[in-house]
């Protein structure tokens, strides 16, 4: 046994076996089934017939899908930028020594810990057209005359979703970037300071390049999660008002499950794939380059 | 040391399915002996009704028929997901509650319950016509109607009186005038135009019909882009701005309840749950004068349009699933539950929020107890049309319903996103993709 | 040591820090206030002058009692913990092994497998849950915790593998080579040398996997039907979001209670994780 495991190939197979088995049984096989669904007119209880790329064609012509696609890109783009910027800023702040450092660091993670559906309900209550605490505050501070249409206007609602997603995801960025920051020795920073660089310079020319690998990992992961996000919009707006805040995942769900059109729903979901694949591919190429170096 | 852990992990993979298998088989014999019926329903808006199912029906049907009733309730929005997964995987609850015309969507997964339906219909004065159409596919009953939740307008009588409406407005035009005055007094009408299954389509579909609009004609040709539809859209656009709480675009089925109970709106289309909540919380919900809120609440049907008065009431139906291993027990349970003396217990706890599927329940003495609830008694008889009018309430109508096409058509103009003509055109193209 | 002037400290540290704290924690404060607020105070609209949205005049424990007595909340907490811990352990082990194999061992098809594992991460659960329902039923795992314990790794393993693979790559090969020269087996070297060095990475993967499990909704909704077997997100949403009137107080209480145990666990690991990373590099 011992000698067998010395062989790289055998060891590799043994190590990969458990993970790959689970993935094959519970992802690869269902995925192929879902792929098959997307090529048929299957609906609940009715296997339908093969229709080729018909479902994909219909999706491209669907105005609601076009909106959903645009929304998903908008949502992912802005949320990622905010999460990165704010996460980085927060990481820099948390990197210093101050009283209650431990408590603050731990508490910053809370938005990330609480299940999305639950915190989304809390936010929904805070944005509620009739009971919003924010409207109450702004009104009583004299800053607004009429309430802000947080979730009742399509544009506002998308921005609200971005805010909630940023709130949720920023801690993850912050903590991971913080860990990365801690590996950058302070001597480098001091050397740069002695050379006359100010804080911004130090950040941009010393810190940022060294953090790039960690940043890339976190950003890619976040893009994947955000692009395929479902729970947040489902709870916050349900895709409304007037189907204007649908994301690809929520619209696919509405078509596939609520209307029973499984084939069309599967096709809609699969549109996420090319984008995510491209993102992952870029990251893989980068990892490979790091390897060679 | 670590190798053992590794081997354990690998072995665990085998052990889990084995273990689960053992657990499963260990359970199976125990349940096979009992006559179990697993029913999946929504979280009733009247929580006491779910209690009746669990604490009254379950023990009593066990005694009477030896059936072990397993009641599971989930959020109504999650019912389609559970039903889909159950049907596709071929196992799940024996009875699933389906709203509106979902039975048409899932008809191929159903057990024929025609004998049950006809029996109950005959014994109880006939099942309401809309429920018949919703539950029958190809002449056979694919599901059994259970109840109907009528939607009427709950309104603050004193506030309406203050702006000159001695009784509830009879036409949309009158309602618009009164609404203008109410909104000026910071007491607007509240209506949801969001993607929500209860209060939105029950408003928009009747509005469309009362102006003479329709989704398709009897042959299935899309006719929604018509003069009548555009007229109703133009009306809604003005009506919304002049008289409504404009936050309604983001409301779900609960926002209007909360807004009404907190005195923020003066009228809203809803089931009886607002009044029932006010009754149950008489000390919590008060008018601005300090009286219990429920003393100021009245109910009225939707106003009449140029082409008539219409209503849509949410239908709740039970489907016995084909994959069920105890379809016989399930049908027996339903037969038992529909018996007058049993259904009665569920019916009275609803206090009128839900009516029975047959006309016999209109004669129940409960209606005499509270005059405020009287309009709900015969509300189901006022419904003459269903989604997909003037065609059938079939799969295509269900798809249109679930995509909120009609509701969104109105939301587009209310939110100022589109002009009436544009929105009608949009709705026509969306329906066209469904009714191709 | 970089010395700063006092005003700089205020502008560049205290003010931004305060903003972050408020932004991050205000919703929790809000949830807490709502959880202890009696229902009679709940429906105060935005125009109401004498409302007190930021604190409650009459705190009550009725929601706590309601939650613990009328719902199966303690069961949900237990279920979610159990499922999260077991699936995290399974996924970490698979991820550690797979990550090591892909990062360190040369064998044919390693690139293909690596890419394959990443691809599975991209498949959304809203697409998979229907075919999965079939498989879960086929294995007779429906309505048991095993349905989730075995399906959660599907989105946890790819992430763990990916993160740990990158991590292992940064560890110098010399460490293993030294160990093997000293007579250790490949497997032994992996377990006794590499894994301990990689603890910060393993911890962060574990923390993250745990959070993802805790947060999952749709599989838990579909595969678990008995009230006592549900997880916290599904239980709270399905029992407390009832149509017309939500039980806001209990809902928020459930949200808070559902997060506190995890937060406590986190507070230990975060510090270890952050300082552990520093330590490993310095050493």
- The verdict on residue C49 lying in a domain is no
Q: At what angle do helices A208-227 and C153-169 cross, to 10 degrees?
A: 170
- The verdict on residue C53 lying in a domain is no
* Residue C90 and residue C219 in one domain: yes
* Residue C94 and residue C149 in one domain: yes
Mean pLDDT by 10 residues, chain A (293 residues): 73 86 88 90 85 90 91 95 93 83 82 88 85 79 78 87 94 83 72 74 78 80 89 86 88 86 90 85 72 51
pTM reported for the whole predicted model: 0.86
* Residue C7 and residue C71 in one domain: no
* Residue C207 and residue C274 in one domain: yes
Mutate to test the interface with A, among B190, B195, B418 (most CBs of A within 10 A): B195
| pLDDT tens column, B273-293 | 899 888 888 888 888 888 999
Q: What is the pLDDT averaged over residues B303-321?
A: 94
C251 and C169 in contact (C-beta within 8 Å)?
A: no
In the predicted structure, residue B329 carries a pLDDT above the cut 80 = yes
**Of residues A48 and B149, more confidently modeled:** B149
Residues of chain B with C-beta less than 8 angstroms from the C-beta of C47: 186, 264
- What pLDDT score was predicted for residue A99? 80
C154 and A23 in contact (C-beta within 8 Å)?
A: yes
Q: Count Cβ neighbours within 10 Å for each residue of B89-99 and write b for 16 or more, e otherwise.
A: bebbbbbbbbb
Q: Is C185 in contact with A117 (Cβ distance < 8 A)?
A: no
Which value does ipTM take for this structure?
0.82
Query: Considering chain B, what percentage of its residues have pLDDT values greater than 90?
Result: 60
Q: Is B10 in contact with A17 (Cβ distance < 8 A)?
A: yes
* Residue C144 and residue C233 in one domain: yes
| pLDDT tens column, C141-197 | 878 889 899 999 998 998 888 878 777 877 778 888 888 888 878 888 888 888 888
**Of residues C228 and A59, more confidently modeled:** A59
User: pLDDT grade, residue B31 (50/70/90)?
Assistant: very low
Tell me the β-bridge partners of B267: B155, B189
Least Cα distance to B124 among B290, B420, B343 occurs for: B343
DSSP SS3 for B46: coil
- What pLDDT score was predicted for residue A257? 84
* Residue C19 and residue C136 in one domain: no
Question: Which of C133, C137, C243 is facing B43, going by the closest CB pair?
Answer: C243
* Residue C18 and residue C153 in one domain: no
Q: Residue A212: which residues within 8 A CB-CB, separation 6 or more?
A: none
In the predicted structure, residue B24 carries a pLDDT above the cut 60 = no
Q: Which residue of A has its CA nearest to B410?
A: A242
Interface of A with C in 11-70 (CB under 8 A): 11-13, 15-16, 18-20, 22-23, 25-31, 33-34, 37
Q: Residue C65: which residues within 8 A CB-CB, separation 6 or more?
A: none
Q: How much is the mean pLDDT over chain C?
A: 81
- The verdict on residue C8 lying in a domain is yes
Backbone angles phi, psi at B239, to 5 degrees: -55, -40
* Residue C72 and residue C125 in one domain: yes
User: pLDDT grade, residue B21 (50/70/90)?
Assistant: very low
Q: What is the pLDDT averaged over residues B376-389?
A: 90
- What pLDDT score was predicted for residue B215? 93
Q: Is C53 in contact with A133 (Cβ distance < 8 A)?
A: yes
- What pLDDT score was predicted for residue B27? 39
| pLDDT tens column, B331-358 | 999 999 999 999 999 999 888 899 999 9
Cβ–Cβ contact C61 with B under 8 A:
no
Strands (E), B34-176: 35-42, 67-74, 95-99, 136-137, 140-141, 144-149, 152-156
**Min distance B106 CA to chain A CA atoms (Å):** 6
* Residue C215 and residue C141 in one domain: yes
- What pLDDT score was predicted for residue B34? 66
- What pLDDT score was predicted for residue B200? 92
| pLDDT tens column, C2-16 | 555 777 777 778 888
- What pLDDT score was predicted for residue C245? 65
Cβ–Cβ contact B9 with A under 8 A:
yes
In the predicted structure, residue B214 carries a pLDDT above the cut 90 = yes
| pLDDT tens column, C73-95 | 889 999 999 999 999 999 999 99
Residues of chain B with C-beta less than 8 angstroms from the C-beta of A259: 105, 398-399, 402-403
User: Structurally, how many domains does chain C consist of?
Assistant: 2
DSSP B318-368: EEEBTT-TTHHHHHHHHHHHHSHHHHHHHHHHHTTSSB-SBGGGGG-THHH
**Min distance A39 CA to chain B CA atoms (Å):** 17
- The verdict on residue C209 lying in a domain is yes
User: pLDDT grade, residue B315 (50/70/90)?
Assistant: very high
Q: Is B74 in contact with C40 (Cβ distance < 8 A)?
A: no
Interface of B with C in 276-315 (CB under 8 A): 277, 281, 283-284
- What pLDDT score was predicted for residue C221? 85
Q: Residue A279: which residues within 8 A CB-CB, separation 6 or more?
A: A220, A223, A224, A227
**The Cα angle at residue C80 between residues A247 and C228, in degrees rounded to 5:** 105
- The verdict on residue C52 lying in a domain is no
* Residue C118 and residue C157 in one domain: yes
Q: Is A241 in contact with B429 (Cβ distance < 8 A)?
A: no
Strands (E), B43-94: 67-74
Least confident of A202-216, B218-232, C212-226: A202-216
- The verdict on residue C43 lying in a domain is no
Structural domain containing residue C252: 65-280
Q: Cα separation of C91 and C210, whole Å? A: 10
- The verdict on residue C141 lying in a domain is yes
**Min distance A139 CA to chain C CA atoms (Å):** 7
C252 and A122 in contact (C-beta within 8 Å)?
A: yes
| pLDDT tens column, B391-401 | 888 888 988 98
User: pLDDT grade, residue B20 (50/70/90)?
Assistant: very low
Q: Cα separation of C249 and B297, whole Å? A: 26
* Residue C110 and residue C8 in one domain: no
Q: Is C30 in contact with A190 (Cβ distance < 8 A)?
A: no
- Give the number of other CB atoms < 10 A from CB of residue B164: 9
Residues of chain B with C-beta less than 8 angstroms from the C-beta of A43: 105, 395
Q: Cα separation of C83 and B24, whole Å? A: 19
Q: What is the CATH number of the domain that holds C249?
A: 1.10.3720.10
**Of residues A289 and C275, more confidently modeled:** A289
Cβ–Cβ contact B371 with C under 8 A:
no
* Residue C11 and residue C128 in one domain: no
In the predicted structure, residue B373 carries a pLDDT above the cut 50 = yes
- The verdict on residue C241 lying in a domain is yes
Q: How do B152-156 and B35-42 pair as beta strands?
A: unpaired
Q: How do B152-156 and B297-300 pair as beta strands?
A: antiparallel
DSSP structural state of residue A26:
I
Mutate to test the interface with B, among A14, A22, A44 (most CBs of B within 10 A): A44
């Amino acid at each position: 046994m011992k000698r067998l495991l010395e062989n790289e190939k055998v060891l590799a197979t043994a190590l990969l076996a458990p993970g790959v088995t689970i993935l094959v049984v519970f992802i690869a096989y269902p995925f192929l089934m879902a792929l098959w669904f997307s090529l048929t007119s299957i609906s609940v209880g009715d296997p339908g017939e093969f229709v080729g790329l018909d479902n994909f064609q219909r999706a491209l012509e669907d105005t609601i899908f076009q909106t959903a696609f645009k929304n998903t890109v908008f949502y992912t783009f802005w949320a990622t930028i905010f999460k990165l910027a704010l996460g980085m800023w927060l990481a820099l702040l948390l990197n210093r020594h101050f009283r209650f450092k431990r408590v603050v660091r731990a508490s910053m993670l809370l938005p990330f810990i609480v299940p999305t559906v639950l915190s989304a309900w809390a936010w929904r209550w805070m944005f509620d057209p009739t009971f919003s605490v924010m409207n109450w505050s702004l009104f009583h501070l004299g800053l607004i005359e009429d309430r802000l249409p947080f979730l009742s206007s399509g544009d506002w609602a998308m921005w609200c979703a971005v805010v909630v997603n940023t709130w949720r995801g920023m801690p993850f960025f912050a903590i991971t970037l913080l860990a990365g920051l801690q590996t950058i020795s302070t001597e480098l920073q001091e050397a740069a300071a002695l050379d006359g660089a100010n804080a911004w310079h130090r950040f941009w020319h010393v810190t940022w390049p060294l953090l790039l690998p960690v940043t890339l990992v976190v950003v890619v992961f976040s893009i994947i999660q955000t692009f395929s996000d479902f729970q947040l919009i489902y709870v916050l707006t349900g895709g409304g008002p007037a189907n204007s805040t649908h994301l690809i995942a929520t619209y696919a769900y509405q078509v596939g499950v609520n209307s029973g059109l499984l084939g069309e729903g599967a096709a809609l979901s699969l549109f996420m794939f090319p984008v995510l694949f491209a993102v992952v591919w870029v990251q893989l190429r980068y990892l490979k380059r790091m390897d060679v170096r | 040391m670590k190798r053992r852990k590794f081997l354990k992990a690998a072995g665990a993979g085998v052990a889990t399915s084995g273990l689960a298998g053992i657990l499963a088989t260990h359970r199976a014999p125990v349940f096979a002996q009992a006559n179990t019926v697993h029913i999946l329903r929504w979280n009733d808006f009247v929580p006491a009704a779910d209690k009746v199912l669990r604490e009254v029906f379950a023990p009593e049907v066990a005694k009477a028929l030896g059936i072990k009733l397993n009641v599971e309730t989930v959020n109504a929005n999650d019912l389609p997901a559970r039903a889909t997964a159950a049907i596709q995987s071929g196992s799940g609850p024996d009875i699933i509650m389906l709203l509106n015309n979902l039975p048409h969507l899932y008809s191929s997964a159903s057990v024929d319950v025609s004998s049950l339906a006809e029996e109950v219909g005959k014994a109880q004065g006939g099942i309401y016509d809309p429920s018949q159409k919703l539950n029958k596919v190809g002449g056979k009953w694919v599901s059994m109607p259970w109840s109907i939740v009528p939607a009427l307008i709950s309104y603050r009588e004193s506030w309406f009186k203050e702006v000159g409406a001695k009784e509830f407005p009879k036409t949309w035009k009158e309602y618009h005038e009164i609404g203008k005055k109410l909104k000026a007094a910071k007491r607007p009408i509240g209506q949801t135009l969001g993607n929500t299954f209860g209060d939105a389509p029950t408003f928009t579909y009747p509005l469309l019909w009362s102006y003479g609009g329709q989704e398709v004609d009897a042959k299935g040709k899309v006719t929604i882009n018509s003069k009548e539809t555009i007229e109703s859209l133009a009306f809604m656009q003005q009506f919304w701005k002049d008289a409504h709480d404009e936050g309604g675009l983001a409301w779900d089925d609960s926002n209007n309840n909360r807004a009404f109970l907190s005195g923020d709106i003066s009228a809203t289309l809803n089931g009886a749950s607002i009044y029932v909540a006010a009754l149950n919380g008489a000390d919590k919900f008060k008018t601005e004068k300090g009286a219990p809120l429920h003393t100021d609440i009245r109910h009225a049907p939707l106003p009449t349009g140029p082409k008539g008065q219409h209503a849509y009431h949410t239908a709740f139906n039970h489907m016995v699933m084909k994959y069920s291993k105890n379809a016989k027990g399930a049908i027996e349970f339903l037969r038992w539950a529909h018996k007058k003396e049993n259904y009665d217990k569920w019916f009275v706890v609803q206090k009128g929020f839900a009516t029975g599927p047959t006309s016999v329940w209109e004669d129940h003495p409960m209606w005499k107890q509270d005059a405020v609830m009287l309009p709900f008694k015969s509300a189901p008889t006022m419904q003459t049309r269903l989604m997909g009018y003037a065609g059938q309430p079939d799969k295509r109508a269900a798809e249109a319903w679930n995509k909120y096409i009609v509701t969104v058509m109105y939301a587009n103009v209310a939110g100022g996103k589109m002009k009436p003509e544009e929105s009608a055109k949009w709705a026509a193209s969306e329906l066209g993709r469904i009714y191709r | 040591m970089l010395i700063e002037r006092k005003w700089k400290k205020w502008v560049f540290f205290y003010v931004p820090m305060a903003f972050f704290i408020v932004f991050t924690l205000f919703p929790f404060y809000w949830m807490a206030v709502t959880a202890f607020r009696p229902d009679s105070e709940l429906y105060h609209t935005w125009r109401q002058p004498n409302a007190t949205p930021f604190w409650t005049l009459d705190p009550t424990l009725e929601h706590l009692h309601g939650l613990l007595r009328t719902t199966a909340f303690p069961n949900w907490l237990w279920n979610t913990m159990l499922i999260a811990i077991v699936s995290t352990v399974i996924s970490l082990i698979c991820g550690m092994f797979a990550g090591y194999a892909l990062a360190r061992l040369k064998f044919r098809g390693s690139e293909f497998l690596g890419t394959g594992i990443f691809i599975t991460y991209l498949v959304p659960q809203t697409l998979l849950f229907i075919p999965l329902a079939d498989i879960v039923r086929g294995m007779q795992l429906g309505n048991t915790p095993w349905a989730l314990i075995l399906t959660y790794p599907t989105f946890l393993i790819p992430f763990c593998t990916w993160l740990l693979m990158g991590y292992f790559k940064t560890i110098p090969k010399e460490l293993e080579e030294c160990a093997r020269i000293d007579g250790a087996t490949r497997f032994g070297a992996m377990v006794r040398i590499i894994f301990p060095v990689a603890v910060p990475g393993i911890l962060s993967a574990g923390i993250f996997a745990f959070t993802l499990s805790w947060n999952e909704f749709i599989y838990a909704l579909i595969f678990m039907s008995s009230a006592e077997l549900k997880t916290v997100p599904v239980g709270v949403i399905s029992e407390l979001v009832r149509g017309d009137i939500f039980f806001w107080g209990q809902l928020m209480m459930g949200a808070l209670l559902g997060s506190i145990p995890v937060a406590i666990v986190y507070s230990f690991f975060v510090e270890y994780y952050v300082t552990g990373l520093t330590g490993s590099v310095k050493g």
